[in-house]
Amino acid sequence: MQETRKRILQTLLARQHCTINEMAEAVGITPISVRHHINKLEAAGLVASKEERHGVGRPRRLYYLTEAGLEEFPSQYVRLTTQLLHQLKATLPAPMVSRIFTEMARHMADEWVPQIESQHLGPKERLQFVANLLNTEGFVVTWEEEDDHYVLRESICPYYHVGQEHPEVCVLDRTFVAALLDLPPEKIRHERCIFNGDKQCRFLIPKPSTESQVS
């Protein structure tokens, strides 16, 4: 990675949220150059942004590290997570560990389900909402239709370093997506997985029966 982009990531790690101008001042380059590097970092899933209102006038855009961006500094972050999971698995039976991951995913989804329901989104709109949400969290996600199902692909997983030793984190993905799509987790088939050496994770999601008949 280019040295300038490393310095931008380090600035975001230290300050948590920054504007383009704040990063330019911290790194010592022009705002235009920062924007160029930020676009590359966003495309790589390392940085995301959000708007924040601060008094009168247009909201400002703040940039922050995604999960994948945080994992660019893995020495403490990943080590602590891995140690916690080792201890959890050594202390509790496997079914209970799996249940904890499942409940975590459902709790994470609960934050977004009301927003989906308030917008009265259809199946495809829900799936696009999920893809957009995962992309802001450091995944790189695309989806498409195939016959009687949808295919959701993840080419970058922010849990990659942790998942090398603890592939159980995959339960989070499937349960989270299922909850947002209002499907039982067992209805989603995790056909391929990065942790198994595949180039991407691939999930098969059934279409609603009425849509399948129309297609």
User: Each residue's pLDDT tens digit in the chain (215 positions)?
Assistant: 688 998 899 888 877 789 999 999 989 999 999 999 999 999 999 999 988 876 677 888 999 988 788 777 765 666 778 888 889 999 999 889 889 999 999 999 999 999 999 999 888 999 999 999 888 777 788 999 998 899 999 987 777 777 878 888 888 889 999 999 999 999 999 999 988 888 889 999 999 875 544 34
- pTM for this entry: 0.63
- Distance between CA atoms of 103 and 40, rounded to whole angstroms? 34
Radius of gyration of the CA atoms of the chain, in A:
19
- Distance between CA atoms of 30 and 35, rounded to whole angstroms? 9
- Distance between CA atoms of 101 and 175, rounded to whole angstroms? 9
Domains of the chain with CATH codes: 3-65 (1.10.10.10), 97-214 (3.90.1520.10)
Contact assessment for residue 213 and residue 148, using Cβ atoms and an 8 Å cutoff: no
* Pick from 211, 209, 213, 214: nearest CA to 124: 211
Please report, for residues 87, 90, 174, the alpha-carbon distance to residue 93 in angstroms, rounded to integers and kept in the order given: 11, 8, 21
